[in-house]
Amino acid sequence: MDRLLCHVIGRYSRVHLDVDASFLQRAVRCFSNVPLPVPEHVSPSQVTAENQYECIAAVVTPLWQTPYKEQLAIKLQWSQSVMWNVVKKICKQRKSWNVKKFSYRLHRVKPSPVTEGYRNKDDFNIQTGVDGNPKTMGFFVGSPADGPVVCVRGTHLVNIRQSHKEVAQAYEDYIRLSPLPPCCHFGDGGHWRNLVVRSNEAGQLMAVVTFHPQDLEQERLEEEGAKLREYFLHGPGARCNLTSLYFQPCRHTRCTADQAPYTLLFGDPHLTETLEDFKFRVSPDSFFQVNTAAAAVLYNTVFSLAHLTPMTTLLDVCCGTGTMSILASRRVRGAVGVDSVSSAVTDARNNALANEALNVEFIAGLAEKKIPRIIAGLGMASHIVAVVNPGRSGLRESALFYLYWPDTVADSLIFEILMAVTEDTM
């Protein structure tokens, strides 16, 4: 290929930019000459009982006081700067490419149909709160890597659903009554850890409690799970009306289902989310866009930019629960999705069957290892579109190499790489 066509989709933006301020600062330093209006660093020592909710809003949703139209303009300007610097960097590394002739297009930011309470997944962490109680569930002011932090409840954060806040409060009430200590640091010998709350547009709720087992026997772990079940099924936590409750004993920062299996304490094993006229099964650790309404806008725009035809084969990299492939299944010849999370791939396969998407296939494994074999198997395909939508850790260079310069594919093959920068990847 002597020409790379790269569409970059302008952010499918939420009404509030709920990403960590330090993450934004790093992104700005790397690629952008345009600073986002990230507030001054909020020190844990500045947090008081009176200002804690303003402090956490400044950290988690730094643009929450900026009118939405201004937010979109800011993000477009920032994206333009990032894109231009990325193009210059690519052309600098490949001397034969002329930056002035490089073909790229940045599309305008599309607004989110939902402006508040749009997150369908929240991860509440545990640390010491303003009141000095180490069993406080919420979000951090400060970074554990830099020293002490203050944990503030997400009670007043506008991007979080009220039902999620209520589950987090019920969990905090429970662990404060428990004699077992919290696991704020892995060396402190504690047990209670973070809480993940997921929901769908129908209002059903899934809660996942992570618990450090330390040296507890299996019988004791089952006992703690039974107590938690009783609390949320018949005790004060029943007011949350959970659809399902999971318990995961985990010794690491993050554990996949393969490393530490989830125990279903009660309820349905999955949530079902509806997107357009398709239904998707969501497991505790499977990926699904955190803004469901904006996801529909995102995917339809991707399909428009990709110029999908009945002869197109879609390569869905980091496919999660298979949403992209299944939504595109009626427009293309076929689709192949790959993801490193095996439970997500299992969900994707079940979703394909449930939606009668018989022309899609999902493969579990690392993208950089699976893509060469997948491409080799598509040698007769006349038009392949690769949609790359990785998490924050990005995609390995070797995987990108096979997408940009696939030696196993005919020179006439057209690859369109659409970097779908969505609301949860910035």
Determine how β-strand 244-249 pairs with β-strand 263-267: antiparallel
CB 55 within 8 Å of CB 152:
yes
The 3-state DSSP class for residue 90 equals helix
Backbone phi and psi for residue 386, each to the nearest 5 degrees, phi listed first: -100, 125
The 3-state DSSP class for residue 136 equals strand
**Distance, C-alpha 76 to centroid of its chain:** 21
State how far the alpha carbon of 316 is from the alpha carbons of 34, 61, 65, 346, 354, in Å: 31, 30, 36, 15, 19
CA atoms of 320 and 341, how far apart (whole Å): 8
214 in a known ligand binding site: no
Backbone phi and psi for residue 192, each to the nearest 5 degrees, phi listed first: -70, 130
Q: 197, 194, 208, 179: which is closest to 252 by C-alpha?
A: 194
In sequence order, which residues have a C-beta less than 8 Å from that of residue 52 and are 6 or more positions away?
130, 141, 150, 152
127 in a known ligand binding site: no
CA atoms of 140 and 149, how far apart (whole Å): 6
Q: 120, 297, 298: which is closest to 201 by C-alpha?
A: 120
**Distance, C-alpha 277 to centroid of its chain:** 23
CA atoms of 140 and 138, how far apart (whole Å): 7
241 in a known ligand binding site: no
The 3-state DSSP class for residue 196 equals strand
In sequence order, which residues have a C-beta less than 8 Å from that of residue 174 and are 6 or more positions away?
228, 231, 236, 237
Going by the annotation, the residues of the binding site for S-adenosyl-L-methionine are 289, 339, 389
Which residue ranges make up the annotated binding site? 289, 339, 389
